[in-house]
Amino acid sequence: MDEGILKTNRNQTIQRIQVKRLRKVVWSYRALYFMLLPGIIYYIIFKYIPMYGVIIAFKDFNFSDGILFSGWADPWYKYFKMFYDSPYFTQVMSNTFIISFYKMVFGIVPPILFAVLLNECRVRWFKSFIQTLTYMPHFFSWVIIYGILLAFLSESSGLVNHWIKDSGGTPINFLTSTEMFRSVLVSSEIWKDLGWGAIIYLAAMTGIDPTLYEAAKVDGAGRFRMIWHITLPGIRSVIVMLLILKLGHILDAGFDQIYILYNIQVYPVADILDTWVFRTGLQKLNFSLAAAAGLLKSFVGLVLILLSNKLAKRWGESIW
């Protein structure tokens, strides 16, 4: 009996000591936790609390009854089936996957290549100037980008078409052509995020051990050899991580960009899941159908990011 009491007291003492140590550690890093607080509050308010609205996808929602008192859909997958049977399903899903795939494939190499070029630049002021100039578009809204594209690509007054006319060619309707619109989407996003993406890879390059480069120079390796055998392998984990994140967001084809740039003439090649959900939910007020489509998108994204992370583990890289 005495031994049991002593053991209990000892465990309680150990727990108190551990709690005191934890409080001491947390208090010593209080400034960092305080800086973390706005981000936590943001995700709670705008990411976790709205999850409550997911149940709309399983209800016959109407404004008068509200979310809680609206009747449940019968069967529960009613609106998922309605979305699948919709004549727009194939077009919307194929456009979403195709545009996202193009952005992922053609958008991953330019930032890496640009970061390598900046890393190899030895003139500091020129490197800083180019880096500032290229990541500035990242902070432009797509409304501003649309104005820039209109100034360059407009069929009637665009600078590019003026050059084509002056050269004796026929103007090209870049922004209203189903053949050209996807190329405009992909290239404009690459241009907008080129400098910003390069910053991530440049930060990863600073973590590479400089003695590796020195040893390579002693062995007679040139710059291209050092880039191929030291720089690129050194940022492989970052490349894989960003690729995993992009795979998880493959159904996010870029609502802001497409909603601002597209028009009814390019609907067949530009109408994606997010724009269809926007029109269905906010314009047609069919919230249950829009919520079901949005939930399906989130589920597919979750499955893809889990599979891609599992695949990355086979390469020796993963997020968790």
CB of 229 closer than 8 Å to CB of 221: yes
Note the pLDDT of residue 317. Answer: 62
- Mean pLDDT, residues 182-191 taken together: 92
Note the pLDDT of residue 318. Answer: 60
pLDDT band at 25 (very low <50, low <70, confident <90, very high): confident
pTM beyond 0.75: yes
Note the pLDDT of residue 111. Answer: 92
> Could you give the percent of the chain with pLDDT greater than 90?
20
Pairing of strands 59-60, 71-72: antiparallel
Note the pLDDT of residue 6. Answer: 67
Note the pLDDT of residue 186. Answer: 92
223 token code pair: 């710059």
pLDDT at residue 98 is higher than 60: yes
pLDDT at residue 195 is higher than 60: yes
Note the pLDDT of residue 230. Answer: 87
Characterize 185-216 residue by residue with b for buried, 16 or more Cβ atoms within 10 angstroms of its Cβ, and e for exposed.
Answer: bbebbbebbbbebbbbbbebbeeeeeeeeeeb
Query: Which strand (E) or helix (H) includes residue 59?
Result: strand 59-60
> Among 1.25.40.80, 1.10.3720.10, 3.90.480.20, 1.20.58.220, what is the CATH number of 77-314?
1.10.3720.10
